[in-house]
A and B are shown apart, each in its own frame.
Chain A
């Protein structure tokens, strides 16, 4: 039996996979420019043009992401709630370092009310609301290098923006690798990928017995998870 999960509507899945493709294109062309080993068919200039175009489209998709979060209710999943920090981070880290090996139930299984475990939520907040905007702003700034200040913090202006852009892009690329790997940590290695592709899991959600932490967000018990609703957010 396939189980529908409204947490992954079509617009979100389209956004996610388009984002993934664009980010890979940006990563390849960005690395090609940084190490100056342009693909023979593209050349340095080709890399620059494709990188710029993909960056512009990615910015549009980021606007869609913001709209979806503000207007379509997806933002509720990013709200930090009681228990996310303590004990959430500890439980989730312990699960990845030990529980996942010995078959412990996932402390924060996916549900329509809770897409992200606490660790995931904090990472996504940092990535989508801090690093990604900086990456976007620095990328757009580098499209008009003549207008950048001559120096910032003792570094030539263009250099400051370029270094920030390069290394934030690098850390986001590492994040993407981790993101893909953790995509295999569902009930089966392909479950979360199917979920993100079809919006449904293809099998009933695995709902382990909660371990009942003392307070805050109760891992494993979807009915008791305190989350803000789309209505509250709007």
Chain B
């Protein structure tokens, strides 16, 4: 009898201990993930955990109509990014109101779809801002992936390759065009020159065709695209646009101001030396004639 009482007490204690932990698990694990595991849907929790929105609950964006199955709402009923981001100014180059204005003026809204949304290009689940990337080529690759998702897309992998090939062919105006396509960001040329926003995508006919815009000391690749890297590295050891040098070499953009000054100084000294020598010869010749 005493043993039976002890057994009942143990069971009760176990239930008392287990229940709170189960309840705790239920609180912190979003119920969405019970269905939306990686193999069943498109959300990869590992990638999501690295994204800029990792701290948010699913319900932050997936509001009404998503808490029951089957869901009674669709993506169209969800709030837009700007609903949360409106007025936010992260940096001089990341001003969400300006970004929104840029998108509204872009060819995507004007000529493709008036309801063009941020999520057409930026995946809210996996988005990592360029400002968190320490490598310009990684930032460029991520940016281009957004464009290629539509502009080099087919129904099959082979069709994808073909579409990409056709897209690359359209850029033959560049010397070393394949290299330019591989190493450059689409938005470097397909957005207005001098504008900080990279969201005002221009029609093809208005794309930038001035090589010197990138191949120059104030290369727009560092004044417009990778400003967070550029601010840190532009002046390192005298190299202009040093952060680009880690990935590529751009004639006109990559140069060292100390080397430039040294070469100019040496050339000036040479000219002065030659001038002095020449004047000396002339004066000595006059003296010789007089004597």
Q: Which of B216, B245, B251, B285 contacts A156 (CB 8 A)?
A: B245
Is residue B88 contacting chain A, with contact meaning CB distance below 8 A?
no
- A36-B217, A44-B212, A102-B284 are contacts. A177–B252 as well, Cβ < 8 Å? no
Chain A residues, Cβ within 8 Å of B249: 145, 156, 158-159, 162
Q: Is A178 an interface residue (CB 8 A)?
A: yes
Given A174-B270, A177-B270, A177-B274, check contact A34 B284 (CB 8 Å).
no
In the complex, what residues of B have CB within 8 A of residue A159's CB? Answer: 245, 249, 254
Q: A36-B217, A44-B212 are in contact. Are A162 and B251 (CB under 8 A)?
A: yes
Please tell me which one of the listed residues B176, B245, B270, B285 contacts residue A178 in the complex, with CB atoms under 8 A apart: B270
CB neighbours (8 Å) of B211 from chain A are 43-45, 48
Decide: A44 near B254, CB < 8 A? Known: A174-B270, A181-B278: no
Question: Which residues from chain B contact A48 at a C-beta distance below 8 Å?
Answer: 175, 211
Which of B245, B267, B288 sits near A102, CB closer than 8 Å? B288
Given A101-B284, A146-B176: A184 touches B278 (CB 8 Å cut-off) = yes
Assess whether A156 is in contact with B215, with CB atoms less than 8 Å apart.
Answer: no
A100 vs B284: C-alpha distance when bound (angstroms): 9
Interface bits B259-291 vs A (CB < 8 Å: 1, else 0): 100010011001100100110110011001000
Q: Is B178 engaged at the interface, CB distance under 8 Å to the other chain? A: yes
Which chain A residues in 120-175 approach chain B with CB under 8 Å? Answer: 145-146, 156, 158-159, 162, 167, 170, 173-174
Bound form: Cα–Cα A217–B286 in Å = 32
A residues in contact with B253, CB < 8 Å: 36
Which among B246, B252, B288 is the interface contact of A34 at CB below 8 angstroms? B252
- Decide if B252 touches A36 in the complex (CB within 8 Å): yes
A100/B281 in contact, CB under 8 A: yes
A204 interface residue (CB < 8 Å to B): no
Q: How far is the CB of B257 from chain A (nearest CB, A)?
A: 11
B interface secondary structure, majority: helix
A118: CB under 8 A from chain B? no
Q: Contacts of A102 on B, CB cut-off 8 Å?
A: 284, 288
Residue in B175, B179, B249, B259 whose Cβ sees the most chain A Cβ within 10 Å: B249
The answer to whether A145 and B252 touch (CB under 8 A), given A33-B215, A101-B284, A177-B271, is no
A101 interface neighbour in B245, B248, B281, Cβ under 8 Å: B281
Return the contact of A33 from the options B176, B246, B252, B288 (Cβ within 8 A).
B252
Query: What's the interface size class on B, roughly?
Result: 20 to 34
B198-218 residues at the A interface, CB under 8 angstroms: 210-212, 215-217
Residues in A neighbouring B123, C-beta threshold 8 A: none
Given contacts A146-B179, A181-B274, contact A43 B212 (CB under 8 A): yes
Measured in the bound complex, the distance between the Cα atoms of B255 and A159 in whole Å is 10
Chain B CB within 10 Å, residue with most, of A36, A38, A146, A159: A36
B162 to chain A, nearest CB (A): 21
Instruction: Determine whether B247 belongs to the interface, using a CB cutoff of 8 Å to chain A.
Output: yes
Within residues 164 to 195 of chain B, which ones have a CB less than 8 A from any CB in chain A?
Answer: 175-176, 178-179
Closest residue on chain B to residue A170 by CB atoms: B263
What are the residues of chain A within 8 A of B255 when measuring CB–CB?
34
With known contacts A101-B281, A177-B271, A146–B178 Cβ distance under 8 A: yes
Which residues of A have CB within 8 Å of B175? 45, 48-49
Q: In the complex, which residue of chain A has the Cβ closest to the Cβ of B251? A: A33
Residue interface mask B219-245, A partner, CB < 8 A = 1? 000000000000000000000000001
Distance in angstroms between the alpha carbons of A33 and B250 in the assembled complex: 10
Chain B residues with CB below 8 A from A38, complex form: 212
Instruction: Give A40-62 interface residues, CB cut-off 8 Å to B.
Output: 43-45, 48-49
- Assembly CA distance A145 to B212 (angstroms): 18
Nearest 9 A/B pairs, CB to CB: A36-B252, A36-B216, A44-B211, A158-B249, A159-B249, A101-B284, A44-B212, A181-B274, A146-B179
Can you list 19 A-B contacts (CB < 8 A)? A34-B251, A44-B252, A48-B211, A49-B175, A100-B281, A101-B281, A145-B176, A145-B179, A156-B245, A159-B249, A162-B254, A167-B259, A167-B263, A177-B267, A177-B270, A177-B274, A178-B274, A181-B274, A181-B277
